[in-house]
Structure 1
């Protein structure tokens, strides 16, 4: 196939490829010869059908396949000869749209090439890694939070009215237009007033009730309520107040520890300390990663594929717009145009993404099957009851697999960079670490 370069500007490339009618005919003939031994036709033994007859019978069917294989083969050979990699799937179109059998096939291919990434001496990078330890105050604060979440309740004095924060044990029947509806009834239900676990307005109306009372609670279901047949409708809940209980502080002792699966209070404290320090280490890694990327960004400069920068800038602008407009859930909104700031950030992300990919390839960084399985399992937990369907979806969706693989690959490359850079540890307080993390969002 004849290949002629028509554009070579920066990273933009374009070529015209001509597949002659004779080359195409030869490919069709070759494919028919390959299939000939297995073909049966009336009047001929298996494998003995003459080639001209096969061409007349099946030539048109094989033609498109032969043409596609010729173009794909020419493209693969082109990239191998040039030593280039396209930034995205090349755009390929047939030039002579009025093509008929017997004509040459003229195809135009265009793409943006990935740039050559310069060598980087990672040993010249010097960064600090923040190290925070969980002190007794932090452990005690976490213990207090656990005790609060394990809150107990005791009966209030008979005749005492309920207060916000109390627990009321109730039987209730919900009715819309006088008819009880499915899922709107319960017995001996323990409801903490102020927990906002029921429809807005429900709990407020039970403040001030006594044990033994009956009270009708009237509420209106939200317009966006999950059960469509109840959305926006007024409902009356007939409630019987069986008990009114006040919250009591849970003692921080071995009994509390055992509620959380620890053998003793000291054992629970040890577990909390480990968990807190794991959280601190995760935060410190995020800070270290940003510092590493900042230093790496200073070390490299190369041309970037315009389409990659444009796509990244649009994604950044779109994401930030939704963060500023949290009430808009869908994408039915005016197109968001990237700003100069978005473009600058996009250039940094694309540049560092290409650099990390190059470093990972050279270091032969691999994402194992076990790591991918773990990532899929973690994602599947977000879809309780549908884990199997999610696994099948990922298995049949290469783009989804790449989305799951990319962050694992990136973190492993960052580990590789950390191993080569000069990293010194710096002891800091929890407050200092929190300030460093907050600063990440401000940059």
Structure 2
């Protein structure tokens, strides 16, 4: 029988489902008989409970369960016959006026939209590239040296400098009152590395052992401690100890200590280059992918299924709650987070997902097993035991699915870049690795100019 699909609005559709009453009754009786063979009830031996008693106790619940199953089966069959791509769960309600021996239900639901993608050759997309130079390798070696630095006491009359490890006692008060986390004794931190707020580091820099100082500190409005966020405290700090950092020499012994197989400085630099080039490749791919996806949205025409958007909003909301839990916020489940906070991001994600899926379908850009394997091996190459990491990925279908999604997006990126007009741009290593810091430096340079 042909399924009559009624178009309501944009992507919303309605169909009528007919469920034979006899099929519901037969299934209810079958489930009651199965239950009677195993159910335990006071006064009866297992398997000897009369069917009428089982029906009296469990009949309503089983009737509800069977009816839901039968309506679901009818909906799935109708959607399949009508070749509908359903977005989200249908809203099902019983309909009056059914023919004798039948129950009628109305199912209202959304379908996935037709996605129209314009001429990609009209697009102009910036494609970045980055070279790993010797300076990048030198800076990486400096980081490795800092990770293995030791400390020795500074001279008695020497003051705190950047890079020193300083041990202090401090106490902060807001309007004369102490606050949680505002006091410590024997607290050690590295100066100039952002471990403390800037005002705190500025106050300690230049002090000597035994000196004390009082200074104001304005907590940022987004400070993680809600009690003090956006407020100004008065701090008293006393320097107890100053230690100067001593960095290891860059020699073959240093390379061996880092586990470099060759055991030489040359081997160390070669390993660093390989790792940096791998990281640069991933980051360049991500940047170019973002440029491609942004451009794709300007060429796509489609309606968004509300059910898919709402499902994405729920995922984003739950992610936000997880983050709040990790920060120690209590009663997160009761917090009311409005949909509108997440709607723009959810709509973008759904739109991109549908556009990418259409490109993949139309141009056969699915991830091949060889592509997935190559990407997993590339991810694993930076670990000490790459074979175990590969096994870890392949042991979980969800993890492997995440890799497949990345490979598909990379396929889409390369396909679009081949079609579009590309504007090649070479950027510096630092700009790629620390875009926010690079932007801040550029702004400071512009202000000085």
Deviation at 1:112, TM superposition (A): 0.8
Judged with a 3 Å threshold, the aligned counterparts in structure 2 of structure 1 residues 131 and 7 are, in CA distance, closer, same or farther, namely: closer
Partner residue in 2 for 1:29: 29
Judged with a 3 Å threshold, the aligned counterparts in structure 2 of structure 1 residues 346 and 414 are, in CA distance, closer, same or farther, namely: closer
Q: Is the 8 A contact 2:149 2:246 kept in 1?
A: yes
Partner residue in 1 for 2:138: 140
Deviation at 1:355, TM superposition (A): 2.0
Deviation at 1:88, TM superposition (A): 1.0
Q: SS at the partner of 1:88?
A: strand
Deviation at 1:61, TM superposition (A): 3.6
Partner residue in 1 for 2:160: 163
Cα distance in 2 between the residues matched to 1:410 and 1:170: 48
Q: SS at the partner of 1:163?
A: coil
- The 5 Å alignment of 1:32-431 reads 32-35=32-35, 55=55, 58-94=58-94, 105-115=103-113, 132-144=130-142, 146-147=144-145, 156-157=154-155, 159-165=156-162, 167=164, 170=167, 184-186=184-186, 191-195=189-193, 197=195, 201=200, 204-205=203-204, 207-210=206-209, 213=210, 225=225, 240-241=240-241, 244-246=242-244, 251-254=249-252, 256-258=254-256, 260-262=258-260, 263-290=263-290, 293=293, 304-308=304-308, 336=340, 348-355=351-358, 358=361, 363=366, 407-417=402-412, 429-431=426-428
| Alpha-carbon displacement from aligned partner over 1:185-217 (angstroms, at most 9, x marks no partner) | 44xx7654444545864872573324xx47587
Deviates more, 1:295-304 or 1:133-142: 295-304
Q: Is the 8 A contact 1:11 1:115 kept in 2?
A: yes
Q: Is the 8 A contact 1:130 1:428 kept in 2?
A: yes
Cα distance in 1 between the residues matched to 2:429 and 2:218: 45
Cα distance in 1 between the residues matched to 2:47 and 2:11: 50
Deviation at 1:113, TM superposition (A): 1.1
Cα distance in 2 between the residues matched to 1:309 and 1:300: 17
Q: Is the 8 A contact 2:115 2:354 kept in 1?
A: no
Deviation at 1:93, TM superposition (A): 3.2
Structure 1: gaps spanning 5 or more residues: 97-101, 320-328, 376-394, 396-400
Cα distance in 2 between the residues matched to 1:154 and 1:41: 77
Judged with a 3 Å threshold, the aligned counterparts in structure 2 of structure 1 residues 432 and 232 are, in CA distance, closer, same or farther, namely: closer
| Alpha-carbon displacement from aligned partner over 1:229-278 (angstroms, at most 9, x marks no partner) | xx99988777644xx45556765444554554442321221122112212
Q: Is the 8 A contact 1:170 1:190 kept in 2?
A: yes
TM-score, length-normalised on structure 1?
0.58
How much is the aligned-residue C-alpha RMSD, in angstroms? 6.2
Q: SS at the partner of 2:108?
A: strand
Deviation at 1:415, TM superposition (A): 4.6
Partner residue in 1 for 2:445: none
Cα distance in 2 between the residues matched to 1:165 and 1:307: 55
Deviation at 1:139, TM superposition (A): 2.5
Judged with a 3 Å threshold, the aligned counterparts in structure 2 of structure 1 residues 58 and 271 are, in CA distance, closer, same or farther, namely: closer
Q: Is the 8 A contact 1:132 1:280 kept in 2?
A: yes
Deviation at 1:110, TM superposition (A): 1.0
Deviation at 1:41, TM superposition (A): 8.6
Cα distance in 2 between the residues matched to 1:172 and 1:162: 16
Cα distance in 2 between the residues matched to 1:57 and 1:249: 78
Deviates more, 1:67-76 or 1:302-311: 302-311
Judged with a 3 Å threshold, the aligned counterparts in structure 2 of structure 1 residues 194 and 355 are, in CA distance, closer, same or farther, namely: same
Q: SS at the partner of 1:87?
A: strand
Partner residue in 2 for 1:391: none
Structure 2: gaps spanning 5 or more residues: 320-328, 380-395, 440-449
Judged with a 3 Å threshold, the aligned counterparts in structure 2 of structure 1 residues 89 and 364 are, in CA distance, closer, same or farther, namely: farther
Partner residue in 1 for 2:17: 17
Q: SS at the partner of 1:209?
A: coil
TM-score, length-normalised on structure 2?
0.58
Cα distance in 1 between the residues matched to 2:227 and 2:347: 45
Q: Is the 8 A contact 2:171 2:236 kept in 1?
A: yes
Q: Is the 8 A contact 1:215 1:239 kept in 2?
A: yes
Deviation at 1:166, TM superposition (A): 6.3
Cα distance in 2 between the residues matched to 1:93 and 1:115: 24
Judged with a 3 Å threshold, the aligned counterparts in structure 2 of structure 1 residues 251 and 426 are, in CA distance, closer, same or farther, namely: farther
Q: SS at the partner of 2:160?
A: coil
Deviation at 1:172, TM superposition (A): 5.5
Cα distance in 2 between the residues matched to 1:356 and 1:25: 47
Cα distance in 2 between the residues matched to 1:302 and 1:46: 59
